[in-house]
Chains A and B, each alone.
Chain A
Amino acid sequence: GENVEQHPSTLSVQEGDSAVIKCTYSDSASNYFPWYKQELGKRPQLIIDIRSNVGEKKDQRIAVTLNKTAKHFSLHITETQPEDSAVYFCAASIEVAAGNKLTFGGGTRVLVKP
């Protein structure tokens, strides 16, 4: 089955700096890669996703890159703000369809210091 590794497990950045989280996956058939932000005791919130037919996607301060050959993808948050502090999870799946399950990375606890 799919295995997703995520690094680093914790990340502390100064407000205004950039944060980068990296994930690798094992199943070359995976083609959907979402990123979730989870605050304590809350449900994961989708912040951005990418499918394997593109190499990069950007939404305001958040961007995701995908390298299919190397089987890794990264989340980039620019101009970080204290409200970006949360746990971020990457995930991988073969399509987003009934029966196709997400495999999550271990999570990265991001702390943005004012």
Chain B
Amino acid sequence: GAVVSQHPSRVICKSGTSVKIECRSLDFQATTMFWYRQFPKKSLMLMATSNEGSKATYEQGVEKDKFLINHASLTLSTLTVTSAHPEDSSFYICSAINRGAIYFGEGSWLTVV
């Protein structure tokens, strides 16, 4: 099946700094990727839809200036958490669609200290 890879799997950053998470489709092209956030013991909440070559579509309540999404190629979308705060600590996971099936990345644990 298709593979979606995320990097890094775990990252610790200091408050006020920015951190970038990458989502790659390894063996297919994805014009659209999705970014989710999952707090401990909670469900996956869609943050935004990443569109190749155009602006991302953000869900209500998600700050687009804080969570920057770039989808510069058909195989890579990046999520940058800017000016990170401890409350941004969470599990971030991306997904992409290939041939009618949804594939998730491994997820990235972000801890802001």
Q: Which residues from chain A sit less than 8 Å from chain B, CB to CB?
A: 34, 41-44, 46, 89, 96-99, 101-107, 109
Contacts and interface: CB of A to CB of B under 8 A. Distances in A.
A43 B93 contact: yes
B102 A99 contact: no
Contact of B91 (A41, A96, A105, A107): A41
22 contacts: A34-B102, A41-B109, A42-B106, A43-B104, A43-B105, A43-B107, A44-B44, A44-B104, A46-B102, A89-B44, A98-B30, A98-B31, A98-B32, A99-B32, A101-B34, A102-B34, A102-B95, A102-B102, A104-B45, A106-B42, A106-B43, A107-B43
B46 A103 contact: yes
A103 B46 CA distance: 8
B100 interface: yes
B101 to A, nearest CB: 7
Contact of A102 (B31, B32, B46, B105): B46
Given A42-B107, A43-B106, A43-B107, A96 B46 contact: no
B32 A104 contact: no
